[in-house]
Structure 1
Amino acid sequence: MHSLVGDLVLVRFAAQQDALLHRRLYNALRQAILDKSLAPLTRLPASRDLATQLGISRNSVITVYEQLLAEGYVNTRQGSGTFVAQTLPDSLFDTQACGLAAGSVPTEPVFSRRGQQLLENISASPSQWGAFIPGVPDVNAFPHQRFSKIQARISRRPSPGQLTYSSHGGAPALQQALVEYLRVSRSVNCSAEQILIVEGVHQAIDLVTRLLTNPGDNAWIEEPSYWGIRHILQMNDVRLCPIDVDQAGMNPPDSAENIPRLIFVTPSHQYPLGPVMSLERRQRLLNLAARHPCWIVEDDYDSEFRFSGQPIPALQGLVPDAPVIYIGTFSKTLYPGLRIGYLVLPPVLAKPFRNAHAELYRSGHSLIQTTLAEFIDSGLYTAHIRRMRLLYSKRRTLLCQLITAAFGPQALNEFNDNAGLHLILHLPAGADDVAIANHANNQGILVRALSRYYVGNNPRRGLLMGFASISEDDMPDAFARLVESVRLYCPQALWMA
């Protein structure tokens, strides 16, 4: 039967572009209902009549009617037909239909105090690759083909255990590979059961903080220190106690009035200033932790890249049963996107941490961890580190030469040890290193302001400059652009040369 409603639907149907006829009809009817062209309680044509008028199958019309019925756009009355619903589902999201006054829906989210503090102090760079970005290795130099071949072979016939959640603290093969590697390279003494594989240093610190501190507990951190540690501690409501760093590393007080629950240190290469913690300071920390119920958290983030002298042994291996939680990562030696780090835990903490990690984070990534284990066991990992150590040493030397030529030798950090993946360009007191860094960042030069790494009100001024992810050919031009940013905001720095 021909109807005016059918004519309206025919016009709307013809205007649709969807290749599927039932989708065209659905969209035509739904839009007509929403814009009130088909008013509430309007009777729709019988499925047979509408199919004839549109020239499509009756089954298509029935399918569309059933979909509209399921979504609440139409109602059916037995023996009477199909009618447009009086109250449409879309009106449930209309503030006026819900009786809400204008402006009663928040236009800005309300964050917790901790969340607001975090958002106001965001330090992570929006770009993680480019000239002088600190802490990022040369990811192009990684032997991707060799690593991919191992991964492809392991992935051909994975076991069920490699494809499901892990409750073992990581792939057993990687845990065992790390036992031998850490023993030889870092003098770390542990068993495979003490190693917990995590997704980077941030997750490791978050887990340590959640399990070993209560809100309001004290934590010693280095002054200056890595902003990521501070933010995680603050988000867990831990009180920060900054301890000054000098040429011998963190300088803990002789008598601690506020005994910390955790002590965070980077003893092998302090971040960001660069000194190595002296043996005397290490012993003081170990003695303090032995006398009081506190744990030392040793972040050994880039210890593999020492360009002269002997490797510095880890704090963890200095004494038996040291109260030390050792954290390592592959972000600096391989590439950050791998997202694999590890904790070496004292035996008393190993099982509780493994259980908590599985409960909170649902461990996985067993295939990539097994691949990494074979990469280590085959010798490819240590060979890669040797190659990168030579490459980074050349880049570091060139950057030192550029800084000295432009600003004078005093612009190089006096604590700087011949290690790591970054240098510090010191600036005169009062220089606005944040403004310089922001201007340079806008020019594609990704330095970071040293003052942002301090908690106190008397920070040193300077720029953190990574040299790992920029080639020797590109470095002079990029450095020249940085000099222009310094010249704009701190011209007196150029007079030092």
Structure 2
Amino acid sequence: MSHASFSPVSDVLLAPSLQRGPGAEPLQRQLLQRLRAAILTGRLPAGCRLPGSRPLAEALGVSRNSVIAVYEQLSAEGYLEPSRQGTRVAELRGGGVVSVMPQQASPPAPRMQTRPLAGRVERVRSHYGAQDGAHAFRPGVPALARFPMPAWKRSVDRAYQRGGVATLGYGDPAGEPALRRALAMHLAVARGVRCTADQVMITEGAQEALALCVRLVANPGDIAWVEDPGYRGAQTAFECADLTVVPVPVDASGLAVPQGAWDAQPPRLVYTSPSHQYPTGAVLSAARRLALMEQAQAHGAWIIEDDYDSEFRHAGELIGAMQGLQADAPVLYVGTFSKTLFPSLRLGFVVLPAALAQQAQTLLQETLRGGHRFEQLALADFMESGQFSRHLGRMRRLYRRRQQALREALARHLDIPHQVLGGDSGMHLTVQLPPDCPDHLLAQAARAYDMAPAPLSRFALMQRADCNGLVLGYGNTSESQYPALVQRLSALALQLQGRALRRA
């Protein structure tokens, strides 16, 4: 049959020829994609009558069944309208079906309009940039090569054996009971937390734990105090909940609430990391802990205690959790296994006050679904078998050595004035730098040498002279690399200072 018998649609349907041979997509799929694209771009406008299945199949060299199947699929999707008079292109943009094909050129494909996003998206995007692939000195990454994979695999295997098919379904929204029991026991012994398993809620990392805290006790527009400088994830969680974020300064004794702040800007939420403030490493003093809880009780506020890196203290005994200082404290205690085990596990937790845990049952049932069940059961086995505690002991010793080695490398090779903060816990050191060495430029330059230190200024909400420096993560960086890495950082810093001097 001549192609002219169904012109002028022949140019759209027949050219170019369908691809054949090894590696080519099925002919039916090619035809489906061609027709759909032609309709969406206007090359086959509304009302255009398509040829019958038999002549089109002959012209294309495909089976008639393939053409029929394509027409039926596009009709089901709403692109075509079959009738007794033949198959026509449907009207996709409202209005009646055009009865004849217009003679003018096909309209251009519509361009995506720029539409404003929610204000919280821009607020978060303006604060933080995307991470690249650099890894040395990246904060928050544990020593992944030292994780006991054989022991973990045994726990995973036991979890699959014991869990069985039933574990494939939804679990308890608050988490697997076995993990909640094991975690409650560990927190009571190691951190002095007062809780039962019923108060422990398992989440997908600390970030979801923070979001859950916000959903439970705050409303849009409420005031939330955050440490400044402080953990960006808390700032993000509060901004995404449309809370009014108020920065509170941090000094050598932790969160330093200004005089009169409780009356001037009474918060609904106060975020603090008292055992190891991130990123300065300060420890919230006992007097400030008690005063914070007293004021929170008096003003009807809630405290989110982020127990960041508290398991890795390098001098003396572990510092107990603020939550355990008094019964029924207005504290929501948040933690994660991303640092103690490995980040991709994506398991965190929040310990709620007993009364709040009871009241929150309905919300938990509606917003949580109890996933990662096998991972939770494996973690429960890992803790109950003693492997978790042994792993923590090994990591404490390792990070203590790495911290000391990094201190020595900084003292010997960083040839600009600096001050080292946060050396008693965790997996990072914070190095304050002089103002003529902008931290964001130094961090950017370091990425060319496979280093990913975080600029201290990125953690600050308010402009502060003492928030210029680098946060150096040593958890996943071998101590043998420290001298060369610090020498490189020193050279880059001196270059920045030289440029600043020449501009002056």
Specify the alignment match of 2:169 in structure 1: 164
Specify the alignment match of 2:389 in structure 1: 382
Give the Å deviation of 1:74.
6.1
Q: Which residue, 44, 52, 75 being the options, matches 2:52? A: 44
Whether 1:312 aligns to 2:315 is: no
Give the Å deviation of 1:123.
4.6
Give the Å deviation of 1:379.
0.6
Q: Which amino acid aligns with 1:244?
A: P
Describe the SS at the equivalent of 1:481.
helix
Describe the SS at the equivalent of 1:486.
helix
**CA distance in 1: counterparts of 2:179 and 2:138, whole angstroms:** 30
Residues 68, 292 of structure 1: alpha-carbon distance in 2 compared, 3 angstrom cutoff: closer
Q: How does 1:141-220 map to 2 (within 5 A)?
A: 141-156=146-161, 158-159=163-164, 162-220=167-225
Whether 1:85 aligns to 2:92 is: no
Contact 1:260 1:294 in 2 (8 A): yes
Which segments of 5 or more consecutive residues in structure 1 lack a partner in the other structure?
A: none
Specify the alignment match of 2:400 in structure 1: 393
TM-score normalized by the length of structure 2: 0.83
Q: Which amino acid aligns with 1:454?
A: A
Specify the alignment match of 1:262 in structure 2: 269
Specify the alignment match of 1:280 in structure 2: 287
Describe the SS at the equivalent of 2:274.
coil
Contact 1:195 1:345 in 2 (8 A): yes
**CA distance in 2: counterparts of 1:272 and 1:370, whole angstroms:** 32
Q: Which amino acid aligns with 1:274?
A: G
Q: Which residue, 441, 446, 470 being the options, matches 1:440? A: 446
Describe the SS at the equivalent of 1:463.
strand
Q: Which residue, 347, 350, 356 being the options, matches 2:354? A: 347
Specify the alignment match of 1:117 in structure 2: 123
Q: Which residue, 422, 432, 443 being the options, matches 1:416? A: 422
Give the Å deviation of 1:170.
0.5
Q: How does 1:468-479 map to 2 (within 5 A)?
A: 468-479=475-486
Whether 1:325 aligns to 2:325 is: no
**CA distance in 1: counterparts of 2:213 and 2:294, whole angstroms:** 21
**CA distance in 2: counterparts of 1:66 and 1:492, whole angstroms:** 69
Residues 59, 410 of structure 1: alpha-carbon distance in 2 compared, 3 angstrom cutoff: closer
**CA distance in 1: counterparts of 2:49 and 2:110, whole angstroms:** 32
Give the Å deviation of 1:404.
0.6
Q: Which residue, 282, 292, 301 being the options, matches 2:299? A: 292
Residues 238, 22 of structure 1: alpha-carbon distance in 2 compared, 3 angstrom cutoff: closer
Range with greater deviation from structure 2 (440-449 or 357-366): 357-366
Specify the alignment match of 2:99 in structure 1: none
Q: Which amino acid aligns with 1:440?
A: A
Give the Å deviation of 1:306.
0.9
Residues 71, 450 of structure 1: alpha-carbon distance in 2 compared, 3 angstrom cutoff: closer
Residues 439, 352 of structure 1: alpha-carbon distance in 2 compared, 3 angstrom cutoff: farther
Describe the SS at the equivalent of 1:457.
coil
Q: Which amino acid aligns with 1:364?
A: G
Residues 154, 487 of structure 1: alpha-carbon distance in 2 compared, 3 angstrom cutoff: same
**CA distance in 2: counterparts of 1:207 and 1:186, whole angstroms:** 22
Range with greater deviation from structure 2 (427-436 or 13-22): 13-22
Give the Å deviation of 1:152.
2.9
Residues 430, 356 of structure 1: alpha-carbon distance in 2 compared, 3 angstrom cutoff: farther
Describe the SS at the equivalent of 1:131.
coil
Contact 2:332 2:352 in 1 (8 A): yes
Contact 2:247 2:461 in 1 (8 A): yes
Residues 26, 440 of structure 1: alpha-carbon distance in 2 compared, 3 angstrom cutoff: closer
**CA distance in 2: counterparts of 1:29 and 1:328, whole angstroms:** 53
Which segments of 5 or more consecutive residues in structure 2 lack a partner in the other structure?
A: 96-101
Give the Å deviation of 1:162.
2.6
Q: How does 1:62-141 map to 2 (within 5 A)?
A: 62-67=68-73, 69-70=75-76, 78=84, 83=86, 85=88, 87=90, 107-123=113-129, 125-127=131-133, 130-141=135-146
Give the Å deviation of 1:428.
1.3
Contact 1:403 1:411 in 2 (8 A): no
Specify the alignment match of 1:373 in structure 2: 380
**CA distance in 2: counterparts of 1:23 and 1:364, whole angstroms:** 37
**CA distance in 1: counterparts of 2:220 and 2:79, whole angstroms:** 52
Give the Å deviation of 1:27.
6.6
Specify the alignment match of 2:470 in structure 1: 463
Give the Å deviation of 1:24.
6.2
Give the Å deviation of 1:443.
3.2
TM-score normalized by the length of structure 1: 0.84
1:55-97 Cα offsets, whole Å, 9 max, x none, are: 876545544554455456766555x7xx4525576999xxxx9
Give the Å deviation of 1:139.
1.6
Contact 1:404 1:411 in 2 (8 A): no
Contact 1:403 1:409 in 2 (8 A): no
Give the Å deviation of 1:408.
6.6
**CA distance in 2: counterparts of 1:52 and 1:270, whole angstroms:** 74
Q: Which amino acid aligns with 1:44?
A: G
Q: Which residue, 16, 19, 33 being the options, matches 2:19? A: 16
**CA distance in 2: counterparts of 1:441 and 1:307, whole angstroms:** 29
Q: Which amino acid aligns with 2:458?
A: R
**CA distance in 2: counterparts of 1:89 and 1:232, whole angstroms:** 40
